[in-house]
Structure 1
Amino acid sequence: MDAREAYSIKVISEIRLERLGLLYGETRIKDNDYVTTVYLKDKPILEGKISLPKFIGDDLYYVKSEGSSALMRQSLYGEPQKVVELGKVLKYEPHGKGLLILGEDPLTKAEKDAPLVTSKRKYRFDGRGLLRTRTSLYLFDNKLRKVIEGDFDVTDFSTNGKRIVVSTSQPDDDVGLNALYELNLDNGEMKRITEKEGSIVALTMNENGEVAMLGHDRGKLPWAIREVILPEEGKRFVCGNTCGSTVLTDIFDGAKERLIFRGDEILTLGQIGGEVNIYRISDGKTEKLTHGQHVVRLFDYDGESLVYSLTRPDKPSLLVRKDEIYDPNPNFKGAIPEKVASSIEGWGIITGDNPTILFIHGGPHTAYGYSFFIEFQFFAQNGFNVIFANPSGSQGYGEDFARRCVGDWGGRDMQELLQFVQDVKKQYNLTKKIGVTGGSYGGFMTNWIVTQTDVFSAAISERSISNLVSMCGTSDIGFWFNAIESGIEDPWTVESMDKLMKMSPIYHVGKVKTPTMLIHGEEDYRCPIEQAEQFYVALRSRGVEAKLVRYQGDGHEHARKGRPENMIHRLSVKLEWFNAHLK
């Protein structure tokens, strides 16, 4: 399998149960871009850079993204008409007074090129660049006007056509803490609903105006489990070990967290280890609606029918409705990983006594699981064993487990991964060389692990961390995230900087002997490219074999939804590196 073939899959990217039938999107890569075909009752009706299709009355609305974002309207028998054009359109819902739209103002070239003057710590953000415009709430009723704006983001909203609730980053925009407010559309007044701030990742309202949110209200705790919270009723529920999903995949479906609230039923996702299923909350009880070793990605529910998409290790994307399963990739079947007996949950695609690659996930509070990975299948097809696991810090095993790596990155988590490698070797009688790779926190672990052991014959570190001190001042979240993850309050004291440096791979770079490739996006603001530059220059200066690969135009998501040609190149250079050093 070559890298281009690896990305030839199609994925379900939109699901809506409409009065006229099932509306869904299918996304593929075409001509170095992502193209979506929208189907209504299994018949194609639209194609292009399209997202968020839905019917309002008898008209089909959708967002067309070509540079800017245009909200389009099309009658069944008419030509498409542009409703509004913004820099981004993120969500829209009908209201009694017009159309509510969550989005950002467009910027002219002059505005994009102008000097940026800021007094905030969060002045840029990964995937958005310099924050020259903020996410606002608009009302369109023949003309467009902002109803909420400021030097903060409106992160979500929900309405039943009368009442409007919004989540914003007003409580602490620098850190990104959210609170929930009710908006009076007549006078613009906002009444705070939630007492405490936290992370609100999805928001919904039923027909009666009752509100539910997905997230937590415990401040800046990256490892906190997510709950479904009814803030005005004082009720909260956990689905599985955490609500929502943190299980990773590199398919490009663009799935986001979602809540559905109809009548007295709330539907959301819930995670247990590496499995993600749909749960229903009703009458104060939580019920699991789907079952299986898979990861549900998208879903919709109209009070009677439930339709959803899922990914499995052997199948990139499946659409499930009643007892019918649609497979957009009928001729593709991936290898199914086997469970590995170890102290942590882990899996392996074992192709024989071949070289082995350990993959380390990012986060650290995410997880591997029963999802499809383009990269895993690619390396298995090219004669490698692929192994992956969820060490301390991973989400899906309870909050205590997720908290275990805090203040100890590269400690217990590394020992668990090293033991996992030994368990794999023993269980499958593997004798060939072993490599290691990972991104983000997984890139930190890759950098760290080669400073601590020579077990691995080659390493590839992506969007990585090498210096926790410099990252505090260069990352969009580093000034608070690095501090709390390292177990310190103020990263700028001498004592704190000393701890951060000793926890940093760059501090121990003199011990590295492993050939190491560093891959990074030029526009990564989460783990800025200076992190790779430091480690690369240090390795080369000390005579260690090293390569640096930089991708223009890509940010932190370069391996999951970056520029397609870059993603194809990335897999190719990774294969070349591991072929050269492991085979």
Structure 2
Amino acid sequence: MRARDIETLVGVGRPALAPDGSFAVFATSRPDIAANRAVGQLWRVDLPAGEARRLTRGVADSSPRLSPDGSRVAFLRGDPKNRAQLHVVDARGGEPVQVTDAALGVSDIAWAPDGRTLAFTARVAEHGRYGTVEGLEPDAESPRRIRGVRWHANGLGYTVDRPSHVFAVDAPDPGAEPLYDPAPAVTADGAPSPERTRVPAEARQLTEGELSHSGCVFTADGAEVLTVVEDPQLEGADLRGELRAIRLDGRGARVVVERETGLGIQDVAVAPDGTVALLAHPLGDSGVDFVAPATGLWLLEAGGVRRLTDSESVDLGEVGSHISVAGDAFLVQDRTRGRVRLLRVERSGGVQELLGGDVEVNGHAAAEDVVVAAVATPVSHGELVRVTDRGGVPLTEFGAPAARAGIAVPRELTVEGRDGYPVHGWVATPEGDGPFPTILQIHGGPYASYGIHLFDETQVLVDAGYAVVYCNPRGSAGYGRAHGRSIRTRMGTLDFADVMDFLDGAVEADPRLDGARVGIMGGSYGGYLTAWVIAHDHRFAGAIVERGFLDPVSFQGTSDIGSFFGDEYVGVEHGDIMRQSPMAVVDDVRTPTLVLHSELDFRCPLEQATRYYSALKRGGVDAELLVFPGENHELTRSGQPRHRVERFEAVLDWWARHLPVRDAV
């Protein structure tokens, strides 16, 4: 796979399933270099084994939700200003109806049980900001008053002055008469001509004030909307969520799950009988104990909440994880050893695997006795499958173009570390006998993981002639909670040993890997560990430190998660911080290092990179800095496609100069 082949990486989003299980609707997304953005549409596939066809033809349609009777699809589509707006289309196809004209766009959407109303969340700007006063430029706005410790977010910017609120709007009939722009007219009383009518009905704002809301789902009777409330002006770090029920008639709200319950709430689902299920994790007495957070499935019951899944053996915290109601049970996705499997969880707590093996489940839906899932595999970035007792039956073939571009399927490997601990990972190699120069990749997180899905960053390196070694060291997700929490206040210890031992074990197990010519690279936490490694081991011909967590001291006041991340991972005592800080040992680096970063990265802010790079140069290290304008922490996953290609070109250029393939025999 070459850099430009990222265009073949078609992702499949969370599907929606007709109430009788007769068809599914889902969204795709892929990078398009010419358009320089992600593009995608909604698709429909009739079940049990129909051919998938495009349902819409927008530039980037997403987040489909089927009406309760299955006749209409609500979804998000960008307007001319690229703001996501709610649209509705007939489930058989046709021209969508725009439902909202929100100034800052729309996010979560949900249907009322009777299909007459749609709820959604949208950010509401403080007056005088974000275009609410025509002609007032951002640099002329009044100063922002901040009282809390969390005021901005990666990929968004300031949030304290534009909280997210819950709205409701009448659901339109896609077959009704279209709206027409009124022509200019002379009125008898000199009144201005009527303005253009953009949407068929005005949305009603159900919440207001400084509190921000995320997610929306109707109660079974349709009288209330459940949403998680956050106070952006809290004076101390607190990740606990409060679940509220907002009355649709605008007559107030009630607290369903109190903040004092101590849960971080990620998803909410409501069964037809009114039972409320939560995807959540306990945050301890501090409200910020998020390291390896033991995300599980909970039921709301009289007197409190009850956990259904085991905190040690089941981890439902994968990005995009959600709940599907399946009769009297619930479907969830559990990450384990680089896979994400689909589980059915009974209300009694019984757990059954519905889909496992070499898949990563990214979304699911159930109706009647039909279950569909969006999955990634070693040879496909995204497919829709029908789940049967024989596994996943493919309903799409989106992975075919990537396969034609060339894919190296990695080999799984477990290495016994220096203390006897098993380190699990993969090795991907070019065709031939080698020996190949070898690159050690390190993932971000740290409580994340490498998986078995088709991974462009590995594939591009293999295509260029490099063997790639990557693993899930202690601190990673998918190997139990103890594995994930083992590096808390011990970063750069067990994780350092694991990645180095895995590299040594992979080289020893395969003579095609040239252990004398190695490089190292990683992003985010992977950037942290790369910077840590090259200060303590000088075997590498070169290193790439990307969007790294490099100085825990300055991270505290600059990152969108700075109020709690460093405190929980490296501690608060000066000695503990220095003991685990790459900046504290930067003078020991001798390895040529490329520092990659994005200008608008608020997760690991740009100053982390510039200060680290400046320290390298001051120490006489062969170092370069590459900064991408307009990008944030998600450059490698969802950045502008042209920037993603340019990043690959810079990576390959760096390795060509410091770890050339041409020297391989």
Taking structure 2 as the reference length, the TM-score comes to 0.81
2:98 corresponds to 1:82: yes
**442-451 vs 309-318, greater mean Cα deviation:** 309-318
The structure that is strand-richer by fraction is 1
Residue matched to 1:137? 166
Of 599, 606, 613 in structure 2, the residue corresponding to residue 529 of structure 1 is 606
Residue matched to 1:65? 78
2:425 corresponds to 1:346: yes
C-alpha displacement at 1:21, in angstroms?
Answer: 2.2
Residue matched to 1:314? 379
| Contact 2:325–2:366, Cα closer than 8 Å, also in 1 | no
Q: Look up the equivalent residue of 1:204 and give its one-letter code.
A: A
Question: Residues 435-494 of structure 1: CA distance to partner in whole angstroms, max 9, x if unpaired?
Answer: 1111111111111111111021111111102211011111111121101111x3xx4xxx
2:341 corresponds to 1:244: no
Of 554, 557, 565 in structure 2, the residue corresponding to residue 470 of structure 1 is 554
Alpha-carbon distance in structure 1 between the residues aligned to 2:216 and 2:74: 18
**562-571 vs 138-147, greater mean Cα deviation:** 138-147
Alpha-carbon distance in structure 1 between the residues aligned to 2:307 and 2:246: 23
Residue matched to 1:445? 529
Of 245, 258, 274 in structure 2, the residue corresponding to residue 209 of structure 1 is 274
Question: Residues 176-206 of structure 1: CA distance to partner in whole angstroms, max 9, x if unpaired?
Answer: 3212223334421222424412321111111
Q: Look up the equivalent residue of 1:529 and give its one-letter code.
A: L
| Contact 1:241–1:271, Cα closer than 8 Å, also in 2 | no
Alpha-carbon distance in structure 1 between the residues aligned to 2:539 and 2:379: 30
| Contact 2:17–2:66, Cα closer than 8 Å, also in 1 | no
Gaps of 5+ in 2: 46-51, 171-200, 388-392, 416-421, 661-665
| Contact 1:357–1:385, Cα closer than 8 Å, also in 2 | yes
Residue matched to 1:251? none
Percentage of identical aligned residues: 26
Residue matched to 1:337? 410
C-alpha displacement at 1:55, in angstroms?
Answer: 3.5
C-alpha displacement at 1:567, in angstroms?
Answer: 0.9
Taking structure 1 as the reference length, the TM-score comes to 0.92
2:79 corresponds to 1:99: no
Task: Name the SS for the 1:326 alignment partner.
Answer: coil
| Contact 1:171–1:179, Cα closer than 8 Å, also in 2 | no
C-alpha displacement at 1:90, in angstroms?
Answer: 1.5
Of 442, 463, 483 in structure 2, the residue corresponding to residue 360 of structure 1 is 442
| Contact 1:73–1:80, Cα closer than 8 Å, also in 2 | yes
Query: CA, structure 1 residues 436+168, in 2 after alignment: closer, same or farther (shift >3 Å)?
Result: same
Alpha-carbon distance in structure 1 between the residues aligned to 2:464 and 2:482: 38
Alpha-carbon distance in structure 1 between the residues aligned to 2:230 and 2:315: 21
2:482 corresponds to 1:400: yes
Q: Look up the equivalent residue of 1:81 and give its one-letter code.
A: V
C-alpha displacement at 1:416, in angstroms?
Answer: 1.4
| Contact 2:146–2:233, Cα closer than 8 Å, also in 1 | no
Task: Name the SS for the 1:4 alignment partner.
Answer: helix
Of 297, 301, 304 in structure 2, the residue corresponding to residue 228 of structure 1 is 297
2:17 corresponds to 1:12: no
| Contact 1:394–1:402, Cα closer than 8 Å, also in 2 | yes
Alpha-carbon distance in structure 1 between the residues aligned to 2:447 and 2:366: 29
Task: Name the SS for the 1:482 alignment partner.
Answer: helix
Of 32, 51, 56 in structure 2, the residue corresponding to residue 46 of structure 1 is 56
Task: Name the SS for the 2:147 alignment partner.
Answer: coil
**408-417 vs 163-172, greater mean Cα deviation:** 163-172
Residue matched to 2:565? 481
| Contact 2:56–2:93, Cα closer than 8 Å, also in 1 | no
Residue matched to 2:327? 263
Task: Name the SS for the 2:217 alignment partner.
Answer: strand
Query: CA, structure 1 residues 387+560, in 2 after alignment: closer, same or farther (shift >3 Å)?
Result: same
C-alpha displacement at 1:406, in angstroms?
Answer: 0.4
Q: Look up the equivalent residue of 2:324 and give its one-letter code.
A: I
Q: Look up the equivalent residue of 1:72 and give its one-letter code.
A: H
Alpha-carbon distance in structure 2 between the residues aligned to 1:227 and 1:311: 22
Task: Name the SS for the 1:433 alignment partner.
Answer: strand
C-alpha displacement at 1:78, in angstroms?
Answer: 6.2
Q: Return the index of the structure with the highest Cα Rg.
A: 2
Q: Look up the equivalent residue of 1:235 and give its one-letter code.
A: R
Q: Look up the equivalent residue of 1:335 and give its one-letter code.
A: A
Alpha-carbon distance in structure 2 between the residues aligned to 1:34 and 1:534: 32
Question: Residues 257-276 of structure 1: CA distance to partner in whole angstroms, max 9, x if unpaired?
Answer: 21012431100101222121
Query: Number of aligned pairs?
Result: 568
Alpha-carbon distance in structure 2 between the residues aligned to 1:434 and 1:181: 53
2:300 corresponds to 1:196: no
Alpha-carbon distance in structure 1 between the residues aligned to 2:381 and 2:98: 34
2:37 corresponds to 1:24: no
Alpha-carbon distance in structure 1 between the residues aligned to 2:394 and 2:588: 56
Of 22, 36, 39 in structure 1, the residue corresponding to residue 40 of structure 2 is 36
2:456 corresponds to 1:379: no
Residue matched to 2:223? 162
**324-333 vs 211-220, greater mean Cα deviation:** 324-333
Q: Look up the equivalent residue of 1:63 and give its one-letter code.
A: L
Alpha-carbon distance in structure 2 between the residues aligned to 1:484 and 1:499: 11
| Contact 1:241–1:270, Cα closer than 8 Å, also in 2 | no
Give the alignment of 1:413-424 within 5 angstroms. 413-424=495-506
Task: Name the SS for the 2:563 alignment partner.
Answer: helix
Root mean square deviation, CA, Å:
2.2
Alpha-carbon distance in structure 1 between the residues aligned to 2:440 and 2:636: 17
Alpha-carbon distance in structure 2 between the residues aligned to 1:319 and 1:77: 19
Residue matched to 1:278? 342
